[in-house]
Structure 1
């Protein structure tokens, strides 16, 4: 992700500890999605592991997590 991401507002401080918790969690789920898709493409985990992780994600962030999984899948397919 070069530059500003599409899910974080502009103007956040560089120190992530000063971000509101909502944005810290979104970044966490984005990085988790990127790692899972990378592992899936490298055939280090089965697809069921990704589905299991979706199920373990809290309802409030599940849709966001799915969107980020799809985003990173698209990046890997390019």
Structure 2
């Protein structure tokens, strides 16, 4: 079960990707880049496995949520 912080972080990620979408920037491209930054050893990666895979999945799920919203408008 998600705690309050996890819920807030999920909403924040969806809002950031929603802003990307609203600005006319390719959400898929941004999500792929973010996933690469998490999977690679970038300066933005703050965790190790298994959290790396989990973070990558969260990015994909947030992207899917944003894309689904875009289709309903």
TM-score for both structures, normalised by structure 1: 0.48
| Aligned-residue offset at 1:69 | 1.4
Deviation at 1:60, TM superposition (A): 2.2
State the alpha-carbon separation in 2 of the partners of residues 63 and 34 from structure 1.
Answer: 17
- The aligned residue for residue 68 of structure 1 is 62
Residues paired across the two proteins, number = 58
Return the offset for 1:54.
Answer: 2.1
Unmatched runs of 5 consecutive residues or more in structure 1: 1-6, 9-18
1:49 aligned residue (22, 25, 30): 30
Moved over 4 A (4+): none
Greater relative contact order, per chain length (Cα 8 Å cut-off, separation 6+): 2
Structure having the higher helix fraction is 2
Kindly name which structure, 1 or 2, has the bigger radius of gyration based on alpha carbons: 1
Q: 1:49 to 1:64 in 2, by over 3 A?
A: closer
Q: Output the aligned Cα RMSD.
A: 2.7
TM-score normalized by structure 2? 0.50
